[in-house]
Structure 1
Amino acid sequence: MTTFFAFIVAILILVSLHEFGHYIVARWCGVKVVRFSVGFGKPFYTKKRGDTEWCLAPVPLGGYVKMVDTREGNVAEEDLPYAFDKQHPAKRIAIVAAGPLTNLALAVLLYGLSFSFGVTEIRPYVGTVTPSSIAAKAGFEAGDRIQSVNGTAVRDWGDAQTEIVLNLEAGKVNVAVQTESGSEAVRVIDAAGTPEAGKVAKNQANIGLLPFKITTRLGSVLEGSPAAKAGLQAGDRLVGADGEPLDDWTQWTQLFRSSPGKKIEIAYERDGTMLSTGLRPDTQELADGTLIGRAGVAPAMDEEWAKQVRHEYRPTVGEAFAMGWDRMTGYAMMTVRFFGKLITGNASLSHVSGPLTIADAAGQTAAMGLQSYLEFLALVSISLGVLNLLPIPVLDGGHLVYYTAEWIRGKPLSERVQAIGLRFGLAAMMLLMMVAFFNDINRLFG
């Protein structure tokens, strides 16, 4: 229910404000607005104010603004000066652009509000490299500080991860780092076309980098788990298994996963005393039939390293909104570059997400708290704004192209040209929607 309501609230806020942007600029430009509807379908609530009928409809997946337009039917003589299609192209451009620009402005507002509560910045340091991962094969080492990806400077861990993932399938990814010793190096990721890169694109795996260092000390032990039954407690430091020393958490993870139902003799340290116990991981079957072991433990982080990597501060209100502007412009440009990579074949369609993934993210961020949910809304608002500005007929960006061409030519494009563009736009959007739904189902249920 949290996921459902968080998703519905997100859609109603983002789409309704998008349409309100169209509405308010239309009124400023002297266009008569007949209806403003929140939701689709037959309205169950209507209220007339002035010339506009305000409606609530039962399908809360969007909304629309209906203006007087001679292309959509007969218009009364007295309303002709207020018809949308009778306005100067500059006015129509302003009305159409107002929706997506409202989404971008909303993102700045949401980020500014979120950052006003405080900012936790994760610096782009590599704390842990998963053995045999994409990152390990590229030579990443704990202590590396990522400076740029393919020449694009990165500010924090999120920037570094995003740049690497989006460039992963376009060819070699050159990651400039400063090593722990202070020397400069370039880690080259060459994973394009590999199954590992495909899993990363589908959000089924990661590249094998974590900003925090993980210790062999237990951070938590699940109640009733094999580890709890074996007497292990949070704070214990795992030392070895079956007489062999294991000093890396990934080795313990691999051991537990590869030992379903098998008894393991564990050596561990508690309060300076060496102890031992027998642990038999539970057996869990994955979707593909593979059996893995689960011990029910999670590691503790290296707190000294975490203090170096994590930077927490509370900006002033002005600084928070300036940061919101920077974050909005950065993500907007990244989204534009992503669509460019899609067109040129340098990015995977697996990165495209649809409503199911958005709903899942809405539920997760809402459960994490208001700040996380605000930043989720901001990110989706940017995506909605940029998507609608793409020069594809049926989207706002396509109409902007038509009206700009009309302004330059002094007359509209022919109906034939507009009809061809409309068919192309509908086909492109239908294909994108099908890909998005397929990816959603694959991510969530595959």
Structure 2
Amino acid sequence: MLATPPIWFILLAFFAALGPLVFIHEYGHYIVGRWFGIGADTFSIGFGREVAGWTDKRGTRWKIGWLPLGGYVKFAGDMDPASMGQGLDKLPPHERLRAFHGKPVWQRALVVAAGPVANFLLAILIFAAFIAIYGAPRAPAVVATVLEGSPAAAAGLRPGDRIISANGSAIDDFTDLTDLTRLRPGEPLRLSYVRDGRAADLDVTIATVTEVDRFGQQYRVGRLGIGSGKLVYEKVGALQLLPEAVKVTGTVIHGTMVGLWQIITGRRPLTELGGPVKMAQLAGQVASLGPFEFVQLLAFFSINLGFINLLPVPMLDGGHLALYAVEAARRRPLGARAQEWLFRGGLAALLTLMLVATLNDLSSVGLWQALGRLLG
């Protein structure tokens, strides 16, 4: 088991990961806003008091805040934190032309969506680079081994069986089956397979296994008890790099969606929800393994940042997009009071989520156990 890196290294790795990802996200908003002629008053990495910054020739203040846990772009005409555009009619005509809320709803929607899209594009580029260097991972969906006493053995699977679908979803690669089962511990699964040229079906219940990583952290995952043949990395042509990278990104997004839904529906414990402390710990641990592992982690962090921001929660990009969809359907925005209550509710939900995630993080690093020993 590897030793956990020191605190200074964890913090350095965390900020080295978070800073570029926040910049990419906010720059997505900023550059699309510029394309539509929207002025930007402030581009900030971090919150709170400015510790460094400069003003460019367009009048945008680029700055770094003392609390580097996020960032924002304040567009012209954004006069309230909820970005509801109140008081737009009070602006001079030349300012109204460059104001965010003076633009058509479709342009505002594209500006908001550009942040998460930028995070997804970054992940795709990182994965494409890894595929160009190492090749695309390939593992035929053929059972090589069956663990004695496992759910697969009890269901009757044998070495040589070729899995063709699981719960109706086609299985083209063994990793497709692995990804599906890992995210569904304890759930029933219907497999279609081919044995000696004949197709058949069987039902199996995925086992729940607790895994411990190299740093001693525990995770609940699903397992069938079958193994594949040797994983190979297949070189692909230049034109296939992006499609392969998009496929990997899509798989990660799907896995994130399934995991979140399982937490919401109670299939997975709420304690598996992590926050900034967990993210910092993971960044430090992976960075200690080497630069290639750290860059790969950045891709996963970038996907998660984009995904979380697309959730339809007011105060997040997804919440703004939902309101713009309502505005487009009604051909007028919701009233200021309705939007205000929605944003208050969204803020309360986010604060609650952050509190739960932080409490989970503190538990994962052993704070409550340490306090219990101290008070006991």
- Code of the residue aligned with 2:181 in structure 1: it is I
SS of the equivalent of 1:41 reads: strand
Q: Per the alignment, do residues 41 and 205 of structure 1 end up closer, same or farther by CA in structure 2, a change over 3 Å counting?
A: same
SS of the equivalent of 1:309 reads: coil
SS of the equivalent of 2:50 reads: coil
Contact 1:179 1:185 in 2 (8 A): no
Contact 2:152 2:204 in 1 (8 A): no
Q: Per the alignment, do residues 154 and 41 of structure 1 end up closer, same or farther by CA in structure 2, a change over 3 Å counting?
A: farther
1:15 aligns with 2:9: no
Contact 1:114 1:374 in 2 (8 A): no
2:62 match: 54
Provide the C-alpha distance between the structure 1 equivalents of 2:106 and 2:269, rounded to a whole number of angstroms.
37
CA RMSD of aligned residues (A): 3.4
SS of the equivalent of 1:44 reads: strand
Q: Per the alignment, do residues 4 and 71 of structure 1 end up closer, same or farther by CA in structure 2, a change over 3 Å counting?
A: closer
Provide the C-alpha distance between the structure 2 equivalents of 1:414 and 1:26, rounded to a whole number of angstroms.
24
1:412 aligns with 2:360: no
Provide the C-alpha distance between the structure 2 equivalents of 1:120 and 1:67, rounded to a whole number of angstroms.
41
The alpha-carbon deviation at position 97 of structure 1 amounts to 0.9
- Code of the residue aligned with 1:68 in structure 2: it is A
114-123 vs 43-52, which moves further: 114-123
Segments of structure 2 that go 5 or more residues without pairing to the other structure are: 1-7, 81-85, 370-376
SS of the equivalent of 1:66 reads: strand
1:90 match: 106
Deviation per CA, 1:116-147, whole angstroms, max 9, x where unpaired?
11136362555666666666666666666554
- Code of the residue aligned with 1:64 in structure 2: it is Y
1:160 aligns with 2:177: yes
Q: Per the alignment, do residues 344 and 23 of structure 1 end up closer, same or farther by CA in structure 2, a change over 3 Å counting?
A: same
1:38 aligns with 2:39: no
Contact 1:125 1:309 in 2 (8 A): no
**Equivalent residues in 2 for 1:293-442 (5 A)?**
308-345=229-266, 348-442=269-363
Contact 2:182 2:223 in 1 (8 A): no
- Code of the residue aligned with 1:431 in structure 2: it is T
- Code of the residue aligned with 1:61 in structure 2: it is L
172-181 vs 401-410, which moves further: 172-181
**Equivalent residues in 2 for 1:57-136 (5 A)?**
57-69=65-77, 71-72=79-80, 77=92, 78-119=94-135, 121=137, 123=139, 124=141
Contact 1:125 1:211 in 2 (8 A): no
SS of the equivalent of 2:38 reads: coil
The alpha-carbon deviation at position 150 of structure 1 amounts to 2.0
- Code of the residue aligned with 2:134 in structure 1: it is G
Provide the C-alpha distance between the structure 1 equivalents of 2:189 and 2:302, rounded to a whole number of angstroms.
29
Deviation per CA, 1:228-264, whole angstroms, max 9, x where unpaired?
xxxxxxxxxxxxxxxxxxxxxxxxxxxxxxxxxxxxx
Provide the C-alpha distance between the structure 1 equivalents of 2:268 and 2:196, rounded to a whole number of angstroms.
32
Q: Per the alignment, do residues 409 and 354 of structure 1 end up closer, same or farther by CA in structure 2, a change over 3 Å counting?
A: same
Deviation per CA, 1:399-421, whole angstroms, max 9, x where unpaired?
11112222222221012321232
Provide the C-alpha distance between the structure 2 equivalents of 1:107 and 1:52, rounded to a whole number of angstroms.
28
Q: Per the alignment, do residues 142 and 380 of structure 1 end up closer, same or farther by CA in structure 2, a change over 3 Å counting?
A: farther
The alpha-carbon deviation at position 371 of structure 1 amounts to 3.7
SS of the equivalent of 1:188 reads: strand
Q: Per the alignment, do residues 24 and 387 of structure 1 end up closer, same or farther by CA in structure 2, a change over 3 Å counting?
A: same
Provide the C-alpha distance between the structure 2 equivalents of 1:158 and 1:363, rounded to a whole number of angstroms.
27
The alpha-carbon deviation at position 382 of structure 1 amounts to 1.7
SS of the equivalent of 1:69 reads: coil
- Code of the residue aligned with 1:167 in structure 2: it is R
How many residues are matched? 346
Q: Per the alignment, do residues 25 and 183 of structure 1 end up closer, same or farther by CA in structure 2, a change over 3 Å counting?
A: closer
The alpha-carbon deviation at position 164 of structure 1 amounts to 1.1
Deviation per CA, 1:171-202, whole angstroms, max 9, x where unpaired?
412344557998755350166xxxx46x4799
Deviation per CA, 1:35-74, whole angstroms, max 9, x where unpaired?
1112222122111102101112232222111112264397
1:261 match: none
Deviation per CA, 1:301-345, whole angstroms, max 9, x where unpaired?
xxxx8xx42212332332222201122233324433444455555
The alpha-carbon deviation at position 84 of structure 1 amounts to 1.5
Answer with 1 or 2: which has the greater Rg: 1
SS of the equivalent of 1:90 reads: helix
Provide the C-alpha distance between the structure 2 equivalents of 1:167 and 1:369, rounded to a whole number of angstroms.
31
